[in-house]
Chain A
Amino acid sequence: MPPAKGLHPALLKSHRRQQILFVLVIGVLLVAALSLLFGRYPAPGLISWRQLTSDELAARLVLNLRLPRLLTALLLGMTLSAAGMVFQLLFNNPLVEPGFLGVSQGAAFGAALAIVFLGGAALLTQASAAFFALAGLGFSYLLARRLRYGGWVLRLLLAGIAVSALFSAGLGLLKYLADPLSQLPEITFWLLGGLASITWGRFLTVLPVTLLGLLVMLIFRWRLNLLSLSEETAFSLGAAPGWERWLLILAAVLPTAALIAVSGMVGWVGLIMPHIARRLFDADARFSLPASMLLGGLFTMLCDDLARTLLAGEIPLGILTSLFGALIFLALMMFQKAKVKQ
C-alpha cells in the first residue's frame, strides 16, 4: 500500500518497516526453497529439477529427510528468537533468553537421564527432555512463589537461575555416571544440538504447540510493549499484567521446550536475534518481534544448511549458531547504527 503524501516521517517509517518485513518473508521463503535443493546428494551443491523428477531416491531424500528438517530448523529459529524477544520484554532485561527459566537445563538433564538410564531411544529422549524442560519451568514458578525477596519479575529470574543450576549439577552427575565410550559421547552430541534425527513424525509432534505459541506471540506483538513497562503502568494503560504475562510466558516457553527436546541445545539464537532485530527495527515489538522471528528462522536455516553440507559428516548445529551468532552480533555492535536522522 503506497503511503499518502504529507504523512509524518514516523508513519512513513512504519509503512517502510512493514514493507521491509514483507521482503524478509519473501527472503525466508526463497532461502527455504534453495535450502531444500541444497545438499550433498547426488553431489555437493544444488540438486537440479531433472534429477529431482528422474531420481526417485533424490525425490524421497528431499521430501522425507530435507523438508521436515528444514521446517524444523525454520520453526526452531523463529520460536527461539520470538521467545527471546518476548522474555527480554517481559523481564525488562535484554540479557535473558527463552531457556533460562530452568527450561534449557531441564531439557539437557532430561535427555541425559534418558540416555544413561532409559536406553536413549530417540523418542524417549525427546519425551524425557520435554518433560524435564516443563518441570524446570514448573519448579521455577513454584520456587518464585516461595521466595521472599523482590518483585515477581526478580523472583522468577532468581528462581530460574537456581533451578538451572540444580539441573546443571544433576547433568554433571549423569555425565559422571555415563559410560564414557557410548553414553557420554551421545550426551555431548545432544548438548551440542542438531537436527540430523528429524523425521516427519518428530516434526509433527512439535508442530501444533509451536504454531500456537508463535501465533499468540505475534498477535500480542504491540501489547508486549505495554507489558515491558512496570506492572502499575501496564495496568493503568488497560492491560492485565498478571494473566497477560503468564499467557505470553507460556506461549514462549512451551514451544521452546518442545523444540529443544528434538534439537538439543541450540544456543545464542534466542539471545542474539532479538538484539539484531531491535538494532534494525528499533524497540517497538510491533516490528521488532516479527523481524526477530524471521531473522531467527533465516539464520537457523542457513546454519543448518552449513551443518549438513560443509563436511561429509554432520557439524553440530549449536556450534554454528553460537559461532555465527556471536560474530554477527559483534559486527552489528561495532558499526554505528544507520538511523534516519531528522
Chain B
Amino acid sequence: MSAPILSFQNVTFGYQRTRPILQKVSFELRPGRVTAILGPNGAGKTTLLYLALGWLSAWTGDIFLDGRPLRRHSRQERGRWLALVPQSEYTPFDYTVLEYVLMGRAPHLPPLGLPTGVDYEAALQALEQVGLAALAEHPVPQLSGGEHQLMLLARAIVQSPRLLLLDEPTAHLDLHNKSRIIEMMRNLRSRGVTLLMTNHEPDVVLAVADDVLLMEPGGPVHFGPLEQVFTAEALSRIYHLPIRLVDVEGHRQVQWT
C-alpha cells in the first residue's frame, strides 16, 4: 500500500476551550482515492477540512502532509499541495471568470510575481476541462450557481494540487450540474489526485467515494472503505432516522422517507 498523503493522528480541536468538536481523530488518506466526510450539521466536517488545509491548528495531535508535519510546509508549498473548493464565495467585483481562475496560479508564482502566458494557458485549459471556456470573459457576479461552482473547481485545478479539499461541492446544484461535478471529481481521481469532500448527499457519496469518514457530534469517527462504513445501521445512528440501503438495478440507493 502506498504511503498516505494526509494523515491525522489523535487530532483534537474545538472553537471554545471547554468544548472540543473533534476528539482524537485519526485517519490516513491514500493517494488517488476519494473520501467523503459524512455527518450531521455541527459534527465538524468543515472544521476537519480546514484543519487539513492548515487554516485551523489542532489543539493536540499531529497532521502530516506527505509524511511531513503540515505546519512545516511553507505557505507556497502548501498551496501547491492542497487546494480548496469552498462551499460558497462571494465577490461584488466584476472579475472575469478567467481573471478569477488565474488566481489559482498564485502558489506557483513568486510571492509578488504576476501571471504570464503560461499561467493564462493553464487557466484556459482548466476552464476548458470544466466546460466554461466560452465564459472566460464573463463577469463572475453574473454566473449561475452551477457555473460558479465549476469555476471554483477550475481555480483549484489550476493549482494542480495533489490533494483537493471540497466543502459540499454539490450543494444547491441541479441534477445536470451535480453530474458534471461528479464527472470532474472522477476525472481528477483518474489523474491521481486525492479528494477529500464533505457531502450531505448520499447519492453523490455512493457515486464517487472510495472511502468514507463518518462523524458524530462529539463522538468517534469511523473511517474505512465505502462498503464497510456506509451502512444502513451507521447512517441510521448518526442521522437518528430509519435509513435503508436498497439495490435498484445493481445501484445502491439510500431510502430515508
Contacts and interface: CB of A to CB of B under 8 A. Distances in A.
Interface stretch (A41-49, A144-152, A224-232): A224-232
Interface in A294-342: 340, 342
B75 A238 contact: yes
Interface in B44-63: 50, 53-55
B137 A89 contact: no
A325 to B, nearest CB: 20
A11 B114 CA distance: 13
Interface residues of B, number: 40
A202 interface: no
Interface string B203-226: 000000000000000000000000
B99 A225 contact: yes
Interface SS of A by simple majority: loop
Interface stretch (B89-97, B175-183, B227-235, B249-257): B89-97
B5 interface: no
Contact of A92 (B83, B84, B90, B159): B90
A286 B114 CA distance: 8
Contact of A340 (B92, B124, B137): B137
| Most chain A Cβ neighbours within 10 Å, of B89, B93, B134 | B93
A225 B94 contact: no
Nearest to B167: A232
A237 B103 contact: yes
Interface stretch (B8-16, B17-25, B29-37, B104-112): B104-112
Contacts of B40: none
B91 to A, nearest CB: 7
Contacts of B83: 236
A283 B93 CA distance: 6
A237 B106 contact: yes
B78 interface: yes
Contacts of A238: 75-76, 78-80, 106-107
Interface string A208-231: 000000000001101101101111
Contacts of B99: 225, 282-284
A232 B53 contact: yes
Given A10-B136, A92-B90, A284 B95 contact: yes
Given A225-B99, A340-B137, A94 B84 contact: no
B202 interface: no
Contacts of A223: 106, 111-112
Interface string A78-100: 00000000001100111000000
Given A11-B120, A225-B95, A283-B95, A232 B115 contact: no
A220 to B, nearest CB: 7
Nearest to B138: A342
B53 to A, nearest CB: 6
Nearest to A222: B114
Given A92-B90, A237-B79, A237-B106, A9 B137 contact: yes
A235 interface: yes
A340 B96 CA distance: 12
A55 B94 CA distance: 53
Nearest to A288: B93
A240 interface: yes
Contacts of A9: 137
Given A10-B120, A220-B112, A282-B96, A237 B91 contact: no
Nearest to A13: B137
Contacts of B84: 232-233, 236
Contacts of B113: 222
Interface in B125-174: 134, 136-137, 159, 165
Contacts of B197: none
A122 interface: no
Nearest to A285: B93
B115 A222 contact: yes
Contact of A228 (B53, B75, B93, B107): B93
A58 interface: no
Contacts of B104: 237
A237 B107 CA distance: 6
B147 to A, nearest CB: 16
Contacts of A233: 84, 86, 89
Interface in A1-19: 7-11
Interface of A: 7-11, 88-89, 92-94, 219-220, 222-223, 225-226, 228-233, 235-240, 278, 282-284, 286, 340, 342
Given A220-B112, A235-B54, A283-B95, 14 more contacts: A8-B124, A10-B98, A10-B136, A94-B93, A223-B112, A229-B91, A232-B50, A233-B89, A236-B84, A239-B106, A282-B94, A283-B96, A284-B96, A284-B99
7 contacts: A9-B137, A222-B115, A223-B106, A233-B84, A238-B75, A238-B80, A340-B137
